[in-house]
Amino acid sequence: MGNTNNRQTPWESSSLVGDFYFTGEGVVSAKNQTPQVTEPTGNSKVDEAEQQLSSERQRVQEEKNQLEEERRKLEQEKKRKEAEEQSQALEQEKSRLKAEREKLEAERLAMASRPKQESVTTGGASYTDTVTGMEFVKLPNGVYMGKYVVTNAQYRKFKPSHDSKDYKGNS
């Protein structure tokens, strides 16, 4: 470097190890190149086994996909059948309730068309039978009782010990 005024010339390197270039583009040295790995051609049985294994894996994956698709279809069919059964049961229940409602409506109309009965607790009304001429009085429990007039003399014939002047109610 002394002859070049402390400048390095392109064909010299200041280190003993390393790459140097003369001019133009750089070239990678051979020691930095990684060797290309080539597959050995003598192992054809291994290659065949690997190909069979990969084709077997692919076939198994296809079968798995088919089974998943069938399972999905079966689940959809099951859900559809359950929905049909539920809708049929709901329709039956709906028709049963409709029939029951119609029956109750008919009973309600029949009860509405009946004449109203007098209250059971009311009493005292009377009527006279046109055939016999007897007078009947309605009691509070809804029963009619015949109304008769009996004199003391008539009652004494029935019960001779009766005295109408007995105020104690023992007669």
Q: What average pLDDT does this structure show over 52-66?
A: 96
Q: Which has the minimum average pLDDT: 36-45, 51-60, 157-166?
A: 36-45
The residue with greater pLDDT, 16 or 46, is 46
Do residues 137 and 126 touch, judged by C-beta distance below 8 A? yes
| E strands, 93-161, in order | 126-128, 135-138, 144-147
Alpha carbons 80 and 103: distance in angstroms, whole number? 35
User: Which tokens go with 35?
Assistant: 């060797």
Please, which residues bridge with residue 137 across strands?
A: 126, 145
Alpha carbons 117 and 49: distance in angstroms, whole number? 102
pLDDT greater than 70 at residue 31: no
Complete DSSP assignment for 57-99: HHHHHHHHHHHHHHHHHHHHHHHHHHHHHHHHHHHHHHHHHHH
Specify the DSSP class assigned to residue 124: -
Write down the pTM of the prediction: 0.33
Give the tens place of pLDDT for each residue, 115-155.
665 554 455 678 788 887 788 888 877 787 887 777 777 87
Instruction: Tell me the residue length of the chain.
Output: 171
The residue with greater pLDDT, 39 or 146, is 146
Please, which residues bridge with residue 97 across strands?
A: none
Alpha carbons 66 and 73: distance in angstroms, whole number? 11
Number of Cβ within 10 Å of residue 142's Cβ equals 13
User: Which tokens go with 162?
Assistant: 């009766």
Residue extents of the structural domains in the chain: 44-114, 126-158
